[in-house]
Amino acid sequence: MVRIDLSVDKFAEEPLYRQLIRLIRERIVNGVWHPGERLPASRDLADVLGISRISVVNAYAELREMGLISGQAGKGTFVTGNAGGLSDPGALPSVAANPMAHVLQRHPPNVIAFSGGAPAEEFMPVALIRQAFNAVLERDGAAAVAYEETEGYYPLREAVADYLRTTGVVCKPDEVLITNGCQQALDMAMQALMSEGDILITTNPTYLGILDLARVRRVQTIGIPLDDDGIRLDLLEQALSNQRARLIYIAPTFHNPTGTIMPIHRRRRLLSLAREYDIPILEDGVYHELSYGPTPPPPLRALDDSGLVLHASGFSKIVLPGTRIGYLIGQGQAWERILRVKRAADICTPGLNQRAMHYFIKTGALINHLERVRRLCRERRDVMLHALKKYMPDGTRWTVPQGGMYTWVELPHNGPTAAELYNNAIPFGVTFAMGTMFHTDSSGGYFMRMNFAAQAPDKIDEGIRRLRMAWHALSTNATPLAPVTGAPIM
């Protein structure tokens, strides 16, 4: 049982249940209360603090939603989310309370982090980008650092339209909005098309940035399971006929986190369903060009003739994330609204970054760079798959991605969950992204997303070896380290 050292201020402006959330969260995040420890029953805590039980019930409900505690009526409430086992508890944010912060976080050099969503720093073409920035400042002077048009620097919009033609997407420069990363493109579309309380359909699991957006924009999400070919259309159709949804968010190529690629026949059926139900699709193509297997089918935007598809993407995964150059391809009635939302959000995407990216594309640097990144990602994928086979316990399964940066790993269900393993892995110096973070419900407890692109090959091998040690230390029916019997999921 946790030690009850809480006191609330009944006369403070901050409501009692909010005070309780803050105090309990602090104790969990700072490692004062540990995973597995029991919290007092709501009635008991209310009695100790001299407050109404409803304040405690509300606080517990919110903490449960944050993933910091779990439990069922009658069975007790327990601490779950914590960066437990850390020598410096302040070093990690609470994963459960802020999954986006978790994947964006930098780790000390002794930690091998498979948790992030960024490419490796050594992939980033720093010298070429420096040259691009210098060249545009030299060429454009003050214009390079003035306000840009809201829609974006026109030559970059033209370059994006040209470049997209290589993926099969045909659009005019006027249909390109330059955004602060793909994340803002998703946000602009969501804000323009949805209102508070509306329903967004996505896959389950899905990109956690879309879940984050849904939370802050207060839209409801319905998660549709995937199979090896992406979203299950039978279940999608059921959802569409039962609910009045406003938008479908989908990443058909190298889906994050599962890596699935939707075949062309399913893409066409998805588009005809969207037409039938007259619902727009927000397509996320951010990993599309990161292919190192067979060429993936064209994006939905390339197959659509109904004007229902908005295509969001950007250069974060293929060049570098920090210049925040993304784009949204749209048309029709929603377009004016999207531009208004963008103008209200930040007036324009920084012009200097847009011009540097334009220079980078136009000098041919992008194409050369992409070739290199694909080759390195493929090499690192192979090392990761080999290491998983070498070290992970019997019954572990994983995907064999044909593009993108992640493999999706399922732990054997007779051992620790991913959350338990995560907490135990930190002292061993390895991290990953827990599967539950990507789910619209509380499922995914045995899944982990591993970013292999972010680590050098020797680190990948060492990281998976450490993970095996962490797993082994936890596993109650521990098997010897030697057996090598894990297998790919697909």
Closest to ligand PLP by CB, 183 vs 354, is: 183
Touching ligand PLP, residues 108-137 (CB under 6 A) = 117
Report DSSP letters for 378-389, one per residue: HHHHHHHHHHHH
314 interacts with ligand PLP by CB under 6 A: yes
Helix (H) or strand (E) holding 271: helix 264-277
Q: Which is nearer to ligand PLP, 326 or 401 (CB)?
A: 326
Nearer to ligand PLP, 212 or 420 (CB): 212
Q: Does 296 bind ligand PLP (CB under 6 A)?
A: no
Q: How far is the CB of 210 from ligand PLP (least distance, A)?
A: 7
* Interface with ligand PLP, residue 353, by CB under 6 A: no
Does 256 sit near ligand PLP (CB under 6 A)?
Answer: yes
User: How many residues interact with ligand PLP (rule CB under 6 A)?
Assistant: 14
d(CA 301, CA 308): 9
Residues 168, 299: contact at Cβ < 8 Å? Answer: yes
- Report the distance separating Cα 290 and Cα 110, nearest Å: 28
Q: Does 326 bind ligand PLP (CB under 6 A)?
A: yes
CB of 285 to ligand PLP, least distance (A): 9
Tell me how far apart the alpha carbons of residues 103 and 162 are, in angstroms, rounded to a whole number.
32
Question: Considering the rule CB under 6 A, would residue 181 count as an interface residue with ligand PLP?
Answer: yes
Among positions 40, 209, 330, 444, the unique one binding ligand PLP when judged by CB under 6 A: 209
The nearest distance, CB 452 to ligand PLP, in angstroms, is 15
Q: Which helix (H) or strand (E) holds 187?
A: helix 181-193
Closest CB to ligand PLP among residues 49, 226: 226
For 450, residues 6+ apart whose C-beta sits below 8 A from its C-beta are 114, 384, 406, 407, 408, 409, 432, 433
183 is a contact residue toward ligand PLP (CB under 6 A):
yes
Residue 254 gets the label, from left (phi > 0), alpha (psi -120 to 50) or beta, of left
Given the structure tokens 């990761």, which residue do they identify? 384
Chain residue whose CB lies nearest ligand PLP: 181
Helix (H) or strand (E) holding 225: strand 220-227
Tell me the residue type at 352.
L
The least CB distance from residue 256 to ligand PLP, in Å, is 4
| Angle, alpha carbons 432-433-437 (nearest 5°) | 160
222 sits near ligand PLP (criterion: CB under 6 A) = no
Amino acid at 139: R
321 binds ligand PLP (CB under 6 A): yes
Site residues, ligand PLP (CB under 6 A): 117, 181-183, 207, 209, 251, 256, 284, 286, 314, 316, 321, 326
